[in-house]
Amino acid sequence: MPRLSAPWEIKRQLLIKAEEETDYTYGCKPEDRPINDYIRFGIINLDKPAGPSSHEVTAWLKRILDIKEAGHGGTLDPKVTGILPIGLLEATKIIQALLISGKEYICVTRLHKQTPENKIKQVLQEFQGLIYQRPPLRSSVKRQLRTRKIYYIDLLEIQEKDILFKVGCEAGTYIRKLSHDIGEALGCGAHMQELRRTRAGPLTESDNLVTLHDVSYYWAEWQQKQDESLLRQFIKPMEKALELLPKIVIRDSAVDAICHGANLATPGITAIETGINTNDTVAIFTQKNEAVALAKTLKPTQELLKVSHGLAAKTQRVLMPRGVYPKLWRGSK
């Protein structure tokens, strides 16, 4: 099967629909938020260790930072290591965006007998594209047959019965089941030996990946020195997690209406990215690059650029609190 384009390989261009200045009296660039808001709307690119569950790691992080709410973007089995994005407080609202942005793993699979390299490569290629999977018995979801996209599988190394490969896939793909199915297709049987997640949506191992020990150290240092740069080293604005979603930029005057749950009307748009189709999930941003909401589009990019009235998208999840921008929409007092 031919290699599919992963979400992080899709290139988009921001097209201007209307020129308008933003008012810096309201809101601010995400990286310039006051430290309390920076934490409140922050995410951590955490390197999960082998042993604890994703839920335990998240609970430990809450205790370290002394916060009441945090959520992780995509469960990793206890023995699996790698990227576990953690949304803090208000940033837990963006977790669903990470769940649709794709994942990448490095996997060691043990074949039950040695197999020629050319046969392994051939079978791996057959698993690229759309595959059928039924969640394993120990999974936390209903065991229904479902489809998942495998963007690519690259064979990295073979050592006797062990094969090392990199796989880019749709969220919700079970790599343990994939390893088993590869073994069945090879006719020798196989099981997953070791697994590490190297990407979750836009977050990679080079994007300020930190351990629990790093977080504990930086937090203790900040409490002692009150140096904000210590926290900014490992906490990133929640907007980072939305980088792979198509983007629509809106006027200042439209922001508070969206924050109150209104749907996005086309006159409120100042810019829109290419490649948006009807019913796509998009991220709505201010002109200062602040995340306002997640929405479902009602029209594709080219049509939204042309029309001057009607609805552009239905708001699905509001991310920005009310009152950050002034209430300038119709019906305000």
Structural contact between residues 295 and 264, judged by C-beta atoms closer than 8 angstroms: yes
Say which of 37, 77, 181, 207 is annotated catalytic: 77
What are the beta bridge partners of residue 14?
Answer: 273
DSSP three-state, residue 88: strand
Strand arrangement, sheet containing 291-297: 14-16, 269-273, 247-250, 281-285, 291-297, 311-318, 264-265
Nearest partner of 226 among 84, 64, 41, 35, judged by Cα: 35
The residues, any chain, with a CB within 8 Å of residue 258's CB and separated by 6 or more, are 250, 264, 268, 284, 292, 293, 315, 318, 320
Dist. CA 262–CA 260, nearest whole Å: 6
CA 155, distance to chain mean position in Å, is 25
The position carrying tokens 């965006």 is 97
47 is known as an active-site residue: no
Structural contact between residues 234 and 215, judged by C-beta atoms closer than 8 angstroms: yes
Dist. CA 76–CA 62, nearest whole Å: 18
Residues in the chain: 333
**Residue type, position 331, single letter:** G
Structural contact between residues 250 and 284, judged by C-beta atoms closer than 8 angstroms: yes
Name the helix (H) or strand (E) containing 304. Answer: helix 301-306
Q: Give catalytic residues, as residue numbers.
A: 77
